[in-house]
Structure 1
Amino acid sequence: MARIDRLFDELLSRKGSDLHLGIGYPPLVRARGELIALRDTPLDTAEMEALLFEITTPEETRRIVDELDLDFAYSYADKARFRANYFYKTTGLAAVFRTIPSKILSLDDLGCPEIARRLSERTSGLILITGPTGSGKSTTLAAMIDHINRSRACHVLTIEDPVEFVHSPIKAHITHREVGPDAGSFASAIRSAGREDADVILIGELRTNETMKLALQLASFGVLVFGTVHTNSAAATIDRIINAFPADEQLQVRGMLAESLAAIIAQQLLRTKDGTGRVAAHEILVGSSALSAMIREGKTFQITNLMQAGRSAGMQTMDMALERLVKKDTISVQAALEKAIDKDSFQKLFPDAQGA
């Protein structure tokens, strides 16, 4: 048993999402959104190196020393997997471990809208899951891939850095590729994906305009492509993708995006009103001829109105999702107001709660 596994036991027993390790600080666990110290005494350099380098390979140890940064996945027996990030800061070596549950939660378990299931059943197009770091994008993606795995015979290819959720084949054939050990880069793995007879491709993160363009091309070839982007809203996601390209390429990218975009699910995590956990609020934009026209014409400012009018197609704005969670008494008005896009309008919906 590695020494760090004792800290993982603490993390799991507290149902925490992250373990933070830094020299000069005690080990910290994020549980229900708050950081909690596991002990009073801080970590020193010797203990930190002993904890972190006991679970890395010689090649991984060389990379953190040479490149000052390392991402990998660590499996703790059959209890859980963790996405590890080692890095250096002013006080020295540090690390953050994100919990990846060994059990993949279903769309029902997560309380995802029904449209998420219908989108998973598509056979082509680009579906983007967006939101800030720690908003549960990977968990939602895993649930959508799990639904595909349970419902149809197809080839699912995931390209990640590192591989997070490991799917065992049920009806689908699953191929996991990890950037680093299995592929030189996201771009090279995505290029190769077109020759691997995949029906569904999950791309861990669309970080560059090259990976974005390759994902758009795959989606236009009749493949269902999932990807994540670090943006807070559907409209911002479209602008982010287009603006990632030089001006002379943007017209072409608008055309590709208008043709291939199936949906954007932008999500935020909020503490529940009773303080026992967290719940996701989803903004949902579904592809349509109206959306395609807006993308081609650069009228992304009209997307909010499109989502407000598109309830029958499963669409909703973030503020609509937050309003629903408040009315269900799942979250507080104050928590919703922090995440609301139009805070003034949202506050007017609940005048009795103002100042509460």
Structure 2
Amino acid sequence: MEKIIKAAVDRGASDLHIKAGDVFRARIDGRLVPLTKQRLTPDQTKAIAQRLISNDEDRMRIDKLRDYDCSWGMPGIGRFRVNILRQRSSFMIVMRVIPFDVPTFESLKLPAVLAEVANAERGMILVTGVTGSGKSSTMAAIINHINQNQHRHILTLENPIEFLHRDINCSVTQREIGVDTDDFRTGLRAALRQDPDVVLIGEMRDSETIDTAMKAAETGHLLVSTLHTPDAVTTVNRIVSMFPPEEQEIARLRLSEALHAVVSQRLLPRADGHGRAAALEVLLATGTVRDMIREKD
């Protein structure tokens, strides 16, 4: 297994698919390509799943697991965000490749305006895009920039922890959902009592989490998170729509005051045919933008 994973990473794979009844596959430059010829048996796939689960208790009850998230590291290669699921009564595994090196704006070739965005004292920075568009890498680069250039307490809530940030100029506290705290809502409420300057939320999935996130921004914190939305306009509308109709007007008002920037991105094939490059739309919360958010139409 290690040789196959290493070969996939060396070819620039972003994800690996391991499924009973199928061959090893990897997503390379956006395409899902086969890596082997021999199909995996259900027992082989189950054995791989057991190897990837580090928690002894969860490993013992693997036959009762339906959807399971964890992280796994391979020395000299990288770390992986792992999702183990059941399909057709057997196991499937999807592994997202996470490099050991924390990305920078320069390594990702991101525009200089993101450094200005990351230097904000307070407000919400939302990194948006479809699945596989590089949101996690961009968020990690934002946190890395703050860590390199400021003296603050950064607290992250992730499921699972992806990039490992060292304490450089900042103190970085990384909490994993299901391990260090029960869920995003509980962790975020607790975070506001833990003297953070910067809070990263892996994903905002419901109105309660968004409500608490806006409170964090309103009380002087810098809040960084993601949404699965394709552009800035859709992002604003998605956030407002998560609230009941009778609360949407006040939600628009609060969002207009809390928002600092929306960074929407997608990965496009490079012109030379080698790999993909990020295309970004950056919406800064200027006075005009805040007025437009407040106006329903």
TM over 0.5: yes
1:120 aligns with 2:114: no
Give distance in 1, aligned partners of 2:60 and 2:212. 31
Q: Which amino acid aligns with 1:180?
A: G
Structure 1 residue corresponding to 2:210, chosen from 212, 221, 231: 212
Is residue 29 from structure 1 mapped to residue 26 from structure 2 by the alignment? yes
- Residue pairs, 1:12-51, within 5 angstroms: 12-51=9-48
Change (3 A) 1:62 1:213: farther
Aligned to 1:92: 90
* In structure 1, distance between residues paired with 2:23 and 2:117: 43
Bigger fraction of residues in helix: 1
Aligned to 1:151: 149
Alignment length, in residue pairs? 296
Q: Which amino acid aligns with 1:168?
A: R
Q: Among 48, 56, 66, which residue is 2:64 paired with? A: 66
The answer to whether the 8 Å contact 1:187/1:211 transfers is: yes
How much does 1:63 deviate?
6.2
> Normalized against structure 1, the TM-score is what?
0.81
Which runs of 5 or more residues in structure 1 are unaligned?
300-356
1:189-338 correspondence runs (5 A): 189-299=187-297
Q: Which one has the largest radius of gyration?
A: 1
- Deviation string for 1:312-355 (max 9, x for gaps)? xxxxxxxxxxxxxxxxxxxxxxxxxxxxxxxxxxxxxxxxxxxx
1:243 CA displacement: 0.3
**Taking structure 2 as the reference length, what is the TM-score of the superposition?**
0.97
Match of 2:74 in 1: 76
Q: Contact (CA 8 Å) 1:68, 1:87: kept in 2 or not? A: yes
- Indicate conservation of the 8 Å contact 1:29/1:37, yes or no: yes
Contact kept in structure 2, 1:64 and 1:86, CA below 8 Å: no
Cα displacement (A) at 1:142: 0.5
Segment of structure 1 superposing worse, 51-60 or 158-167: 51-60
Q: Give the AA of the match of 1:32.
A: D
Which 5+ residue runs of structure 2 have no aligned equivalent?
A: none
Flag the structure with higher strand content.
Answer: 2
Q: Which has the higher contact order (CA 8 A, sep 6+)?
A: 2
- Structure 2: how far apart are the matches of 1:255 and 1:84? 38
Q: Does 1:10 align with 2:18?
A: no
Q: CA deviation at 1:92?
A: 2.0
Query: Identity of paired residues, percent?
Result: 36
CA contact (8 A) 2:50 2:62 kept: no
C-alpha RMSD of matched pairs (Å): 1.2
Moved more, 73-82 or 99-108: 73-82
CA contact (8 A) 1:125 1:261 kept: yes
The code of the aligned residue for 2:5 comes to: F
Q: How many angstroms apart in 1 are the aligned matches of 2:91 and 2:165?
A: 32
**Within 2, Cα distance between the matches of 1:64 and 1:296?**
49
Aligned residue for 1:107, secondary structure, equals coil
- Tell me what 2:137 maps to: 139
Q: Note the alpha carbon deviations across 1:266-289, whole angstroms, 9 max, x for none.
A: 100011122211100001110011
Tell me the SS of whatever aligns to 1:174.
strand
1:71-96 C-alpha deviation (Å, 9 max, x unpaired): 11111124211000001123621010
Cα distance between partner residues in 2 of 1:115 and 1:273? 24
- Against the structure 1 CA distance between its residues 172 and 275, is the aligned structure 2 distance closer, same or farther, given a 3 Å change threshold? same
CA deviation string 1:14-35 (max 9, x = no partner): 1111110111110001111112
SS in 1 for 2:216: helix
Residues 291 and 92 of structure 1: CA distance in aligned 2, closer, same or farther (over 3 Å): same
Going from structure 1 to structure 2, the CA distance change for 1:6 and 1:263 (only over 3 Å counts) comes to same
Paired residue secondary structure (2:13): coil
Query: Could you tell me which amino acid in structure 2 is paired with residue 295 of structure 1?
Result: I
